[in-house]
């Protein structure tokens, strides 16, 4: 019995060892095949010439500001790619050049083994149009980035104006939600206030239909001009926005049924838990 058990154990160990060897050989063959395939693809890639430029722009239902032609011109200005070896195209340089367009976001540049250079990007989407105190105009997009007004203009936007000193320049194309920006300075920045308020309004169908204009007064406080009526809504700062608009909607609903809100010249939401109105 002992000798039989030892024989079976010895045979089992041999089989286990053989399986390990077989597994190692299989892994080596697979890895070798993968390396060979990579080498072969790389060799083909080096010999492949660029035969086509494919451009894909995602507009997200916004007005089309940046065109495929503009992207093509930027690419052609940056590097020679037609009938050039696909692996000689400077992808990082080309990506950086496309990203310089103020409306280009999430830029991706790739080449394929079939000789196609693919550029895909997302157009920045304007949220609010700003007119500063000098009469210059620019946009703030949904990510808080300042955008210039180009040939194609974004429509159906809230406008903002008043005592706003900032203006758009290439050097001043900053992002309002940049974590490196000083928070105290940012809180007092009228553009930041406009951006946060426009963000809030854009998420609410009632407010989008209601608000015509955001105005920054001499005290750096927000005033809202509605699309209906000639009241001035004194909003104050961007604190308690949800509470303020809840009170405002209730006020308009209550006074509409009574037919009386049009008699007010100002409606103030600056004070907590109350609305203060002044009659015409």
pLDDT, position 41: 47
pLDDT, position 274: 84
The reported pTM is: 0.76
List the pLDDT tens digit at each of the 280 positions of the chain: 455 555 545 555 556 666 676 667 677 666 665 654 544 445 444 568 888 889 999 998 888 888 899 999 999 898 887 777 888 888 899 999 999 899 999 999 998 888 889 999 999 999 999 999 998 999 999 988 999 998 766 678 899 999 999 888 776 666 776 666 656 567 788 999 999 999 999 999 999 999 999 999 999 999 999 988 788 999 999 999 999 999 988 888 877 655 566 778 889 998 888 888 888 7
- List the one residue out of 239, 238, 240, 215 whose CA is nearest residue 225: 215
pLDDT, position 112: 82
pLDDT, position 78: 87
pLDDT, position 162: 95
What are the residue ranges spanned by the domains of the chain?
52-123, 126-279
pLDDT, position 199: 94
CA distances from 153 to 63, 133, 160, 270 (A): 7, 20, 16, 34
The torsion of the CA quartet 226, 135, 139, 170, rounded to 10 degrees, works out to: -160
Domain 52-123, CATH: 3.10.20.310
The gap from C-alpha 151 to its chain's centroid, in whole angstroms, comes to 21
pLDDT, position 43: 47
Burial of 213 (0-12, 13-18, 19+ CB in 10 A): middle
CATH fold for domain 126-279 = Rossmann fold (3.40.50)
């Amino acid at each position: 019995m002992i000798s039989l058990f030892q024989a079976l154990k010895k045979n089992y160990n041999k089989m286990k060892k053989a399986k390990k060897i077989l597994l190692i050989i299989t892994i080596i063959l697979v890895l070798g095949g993968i390396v060979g395939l990579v080498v072969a693809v790389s060799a083909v890639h080096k010999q492949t010439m660029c035969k086509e430029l494919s451009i894909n722009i995602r507009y997200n239902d916004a007005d089309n500001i940046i065109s495929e032609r503009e992207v093509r011109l930027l690419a052609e200005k940056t590097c020679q790619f037609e009938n050039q070896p696909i692996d000689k195209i400077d992808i990082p340089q080309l990506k950086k050049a496309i990203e310089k367009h103020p409306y280009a976001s999430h830029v991706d540049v790739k080449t394929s083994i079939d000789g196609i250079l693919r550029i895909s990007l997302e157009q920045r989407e304007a949220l609010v149009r700003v007119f500063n105190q000098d009469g210059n105009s620019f946009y703030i997009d949904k990510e808080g980035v300042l955008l210039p007004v180009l040939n194609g203009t974004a429509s159906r936007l809230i406008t903002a104006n008043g005592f706003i000193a900032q203006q758009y320049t290439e050097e001043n194309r900053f992002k309002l939600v940049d974590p490196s920006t000083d928070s105290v300075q940012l809180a007092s920045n009228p553009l930041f206030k406009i951006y946060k308020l426009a963000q809030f309004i854009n998420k609410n169908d009632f407010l989008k239909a209601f608000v015509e204009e955001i105005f920054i007064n001499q005290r750096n406080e927000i005033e809202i001009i509605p699309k209906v009526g000639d009241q001035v809504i004194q909003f104050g700062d961007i604190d308690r926005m949800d509470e303020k608009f809840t009170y405002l909607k209730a006020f308009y609903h209550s006074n509409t049924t009574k037919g009386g809100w049009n008699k007010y010249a100002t409606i103030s939401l600056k004070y907590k838990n109350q609305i203060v109105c002044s009659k015409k």
